[in-house]
Structure 1
Amino acid sequence: MQEYQLTLKDKRIVWGKAIDIESLIGQYPSDSIRQGANEALDWNLPAGIYRAKEVVLELDKMLEAILVQLGEPVNGDPTLLLDSLQANLAISGRLSSLPLGPLALEDKAGAEITAQAQRIGEQLVSWAREMNSEKKGVVKYGTEALEKLEFRSRCYGHSLTPEAVAQVWGPIGGPRIMQIYNEYLHQFVLLRDALLPFANWEEVPFEVEEHAGFKGLRFLEPAREIFLTQLLGKKLTHKSIVQYAQSVVSSGLIKTGYGFQYRLGTVLPAGLGESARTAARYLLKWHPVQTVAAHEAQDPAAVSFDYEYEDYYAAPRNEAGAGKPGNKETLPVSGEHYDEPSIARLLPNADTDRSILRFSLDMEGREFAVDLGQLFRGHRFLYRPYGKDNADAAAAKRDSLSRHLAADILSHSGLVTNTDGIHFIPTGGNELVVWALLGKLYPENVVLLDKGDKQELEAAYVSGKGFGTQFLVL
């Protein structure tokens, strides 16, 4: 069995059984251009496994048909129609289908999704321009067949640029062409919105089945409506992002945890394999790995990953202890350097009926393991010394200061906290140890440092909620 692994600088995270996805992509039983009513041809995505680029290729066939039907001199020049697509996929402007830019969402989840929408929209338009320049549809079907493409697009509300309106509704255009172009725009909007949860959205494979009454990606519309309502209402949570992602990839799951496995891989928060200092906190990442083993000759089971402690507030807690006393003037910022651990493993808990994953590493001759869900929760809740969400300096009054070994913190059961004071934990720059600590510390006033110099420490002392004990991780 070939294990899957992520590389984090000189460290590795290893787990599960790697999946070969490439062999599954592009195996479709039929074509997207097929016989429709009477002598007309219809368009629909055939059943199969897709990634974003494969969908864009199928959508281009509609645009090529529009250009053929518009005839000369428009034939072959998609500029105006693609410019209108770009305006629809932009996050600002009168034609934007998802105007997140003007909303200026400041919550972490909203900010990450806003940046995602812009990135994805720009790349999809770039692919659309590139693919249309190749005219593969004309080569495959011929202009005579594309002339016959005609269907009803049951969607309203996508606005066009004035130039596109003039082209689509011009002397050669009309309702027939408008129906095809409207569907073309709508499918792109559905594709962009479906991929919003995933940091590596270009790689995510998802299954499309031909549903009666649903053309292309329209089967995603109910889940999309719920997700966008939460996003625009500023009530987006990590759980709602995971729930939407499960619908996008047709996992079949009803239960929602912090991540999940489906037939085509595993989806976990995007921070795994990244630096905790810069990683996205709410986005997800798809991995080509079977995390929880299936029985022989069976597809990987759809599994929702549970937190060990569903309510972290009610989780058992232990105090960090006294540590080595210090003060703000003499605090040693250079800590021990952990040459180990260099590898962490994700270990499924097979002893219960709950799907819990452990983040396990060996250090100083001992094995330490934390709940993977709590690790991600700790990452979402952490503070940075110069963050916008830090407390007012006047509110923070913590007098005692102590220094702890990371191994001592990880050796406790439950979550680690303390009654008061500042607790400094050096990691020697080992990212695996940083992540493990985020899964062990009670997620209330944990501040992740970059350098530990005097200026950063002064900012860190007044970071967090402004009350209670504080943990500084370097």
Structure 2
Amino acid sequence: MKEYQLILKEKKIVWGETIDIERLIDNKPVDSIRQGENSNMDWNLPAGIYRAKEIVIELDKMLEAMLVQLGDPVNSDPTVLLDSLLANLAISGSLSSLPLKSLELEDHAGIEIRAQAVRIGEQLVSWAREINAEKMTLAEYGSETLSELEFRSRCYGHPLTPEATAQVWGPFGGPRIMQIYNEYLHQFVLLRDALLPFSNWEEVPFEVKEYREFKGLRFLEPSREVFLTQLFKKKLTHKSIIHYAQSVVSSGLKKVGYGFQYRLGTVLPAGLGESARTASRYLLRWHPVQTIQVEDAEGLAAVSFDYEYEDYYSAPRKEAGKGTPADDELLPEYGVDYNEPSIARLLPNASTDRTTLQFSMEMKGSEFAVDLGQLFRGQRFLYRPQRSSYAGSEFIKREYINWHPAEDILSHSGLVTNADGIHFIPTGKNELVLWALLGKLYPENVVLLDKGDQEELEAAYVSGKGFGTQFLVL
């Protein structure tokens, strides 16, 4: 068994058994262009396992068929059609299929998804240009077969640029070309939207089943509609993103936790393996690893990962204690050099009705473990030093600051809080220690520092909820 490893600033997070995903993404048994029910050639994605670029390769077959059917050398230039595709995948403009730029998205989830939409849309069009320039489709099928492609695209038409409209409906175009182009655009929109939850979206493998009643990625339309409704209503949560991701990869799961395993790997919040200071809070990341060693008749069983404490508010709490009095002018000097731990392990605990994962590491001769779900929850809820006119913590006297060794905090059971005061916990710049603390501290008034200098502390004191116990983590 080869353990899966994530490298985090010379530290490691290891778990499970690595999956050879390339072995699973094999050649499809049939072509996407083939004889339809009538005499014409039809298009559909063959059943199989795909990643984003492989879908784009299959979609190029529709584009190349349109160029062949347009015939005229001027009209067979793909630039106009691809520019119109780019306008559809943009997040602004009258042709946008996802006009997120006009929304005042201030929540972390909405901001991250909006940035994703831009990145993915631009890269998909870039691939489409590169792939079409190679003319692989024309070499594979020939102009005679491509000229016979014809089908009905059953959805509302996507708007086109004036140049694309002139080309599609011009003397060499017509309804037949428009039907193919509409499906081409729609499949790209579905692909872009399906990949929105994943930070490493280019790598994510997902299964496509072929249906008689609709084409390609249209099986995603119901879950996509729910997801986008939540996004536009600014009600997008971590749970709703997980639910959508489970549908995209055809996991078969109905239960929703903070992550999941499916036949082709494991999906967890994207922060794992990255710095907690800069990591995404709501995006997900796919990992080629079998986390839970169980199988069913069809291969790797799908598993939802549960929080140890479904409701953190009702979780057992322990007080950190008074700690050691600290001078705020000397806070950075209270740091500890944590050369260890250098490795953390994810340890599964599977029972008949739920599966949890622990983030486990050895430090100062002791083993410490925190719930992985609570670790991600802590990162989503943390604060960064930022002055706020709404915070009231400026009235807290700074002489009440106390510092605590990280191992003391991690040694408590339940979630750690305190009755009052400001409490400082150094991590020695060890990201594993930092992540573990985020999973142990009650996620209410935790402020993550970068330097601990006076300017940052001034902002930290008035960050967070503005009342109650405050934990400063450096």
Q: Distance in 2 between matches of 1:435 and 1:107?
A: 22
How far 1:75 moved relative to its partner?
5.5
The equivalent residue for 1:406 is: 406
Query: Is 1:113 the equivalent of 2:108?
Result: no
Q: Distance in 2 between matches of 1:33 and 1:350?
A: 45
SS in 1 for 2:158: coil
Report if the CA contact (8 A) 1:333-1:453 is conserved. no
CA RMSD of aligned residues (A): 1.3
The equivalent residue for 1:444 is: 444
Could you give the per-residue CA deviations for residues 90-130 of structure 1, whole angstroms, max 9, x where no partner exists?
01111000010111311100000000000000000000000
Q: Distance in 2 between matches of 1:330 and 1:266?
A: 43
How far 1:177 moved relative to its partner?
0.4
Report if the CA contact (8 A) 1:391-1:466 is conserved. no
The equivalent residue for 1:418 is: 418
The answer to which of 325-334 and 9-18 deviates more is 325-334
* Equivalent runs, 1:204-353 vs 2, <5 Å: 204-295=204-295, 299-350=299-350, 353=353
How far 1:77 moved relative to its partner?
1.0
The equivalent residue for 1:378 is: 378
Pair 86,307 (structure 1): closer, same or farther in 2 beyond 3 Å: same
How far 1:38 moved relative to its partner?
2.5
How far 1:346 moved relative to its partner?
0.3
Identity of aligned residues (%): 76
Q: TM-score normalised to the size of structure 1? A: 0.97
Report if the CA contact (8 A) 1:360-1:368 is conserved. yes
The equivalent residue for 1:139 is: 139
How far 1:455 moved relative to its partner?
0.8
Could you give the per-residue CA deviations for residues 402-428 of structure 1, whole angstroms, max 9, x where no partner exists?
000000000000000001100000000
How far 1:212 moved relative to its partner?
2.7
Report if the CA contact (8 A) 1:85-1:125 is conserved. yes
The equivalent residue for 1:470 is: 470
Among 390, 393, 399, the alignment partner of 1:392 is 390
The equivalent residue for 1:129 is: 129
How far 1:70 moved relative to its partner?
0.3
Report if the CA contact (8 A) 1:4-1:18 is conserved. yes
The equivalent residue for 1:17 is: 17
Q: Distance in 2 between matches of 1:394 and 1:232?
A: 32
Q: Distance in 2 between matches of 1:69 and 1:298?
A: 43
Q: Distance in 2 between matches of 1:148 and 1:262?
A: 39
The equivalent residue for 1:32 is: 32
Q: Distance in 2 between matches of 1:8 and 1:391?
A: 36
SS in 2 for 1:7: strand
Could you give the per-residue CA deviations for residues 218-237 of structure 1, whole angstroms, max 9, x where no partner exists?
00000000000000000000
Report if the CA contact (8 A) 1:51-1:203 is conserved. yes
Q: Distance in 2 between matches of 1:372 and 1:150?
A: 51
How far 1:157 moved relative to its partner?
3.7
The equivalent residue for 1:203 is: 203
Pair 468,391 (structure 1): closer, same or farther in 2 beyond 3 Å: farther
Could you give the per-residue CA deviations for residues 336-359 of structure 1, whole angstroms, max 9, x where no partner exists?
110000000000013563100000
The equivalent residue for 1:95 is: 95
Letter in 2 for 1:336: V
Q: Distance in 1 between matches of 2:405 and 2:175?
A: 71
SS in 1 for 2:331: coil
Report if the CA contact (8 A) 2:92-2:100 is conserved. yes
Corresponding pairs, count:
472
Letter in 2 for 1:255: K
Q: Distance in 1 between matches of 2:345 and 2:330?
A: 37
Give unmatched runs, 5+ long, in structure 2: none
Query: Is 1:159 the equivalent of 2:179?
Result: no
SS in 2 for 1:349: strand
How far 1:301 moved relative to its partner?
1.0
Letter in 2 for 1:49: I
Q: Distance in 2 between matches of 1:405 and 1:363?
A: 12
Q: Distance in 2 between matches of 1:376 and 1:277?
A: 13
How far 1:297 moved relative to its partner?
8.0
The answer to which of 306-315 and 320-329 deviates more is 320-329
How far 1:33 moved relative to its partner?
0.2
Q: Distance in 1 between matches of 2:176 and 2:320?
A: 70
Report if the CA contact (8 A) 2:332-2:452 is conserved. no
SS in 2 for 1:447: strand
The answer to which of 311-320 and 100-109 deviates more is 100-109
Q: Distance in 1 between matches of 2:34 and 2:72?
A: 25
Q: Distance in 1 between matches of 2:384 and 2:165?
A: 49
Report if the CA contact (8 A) 1:26-1:50 is conserved. no
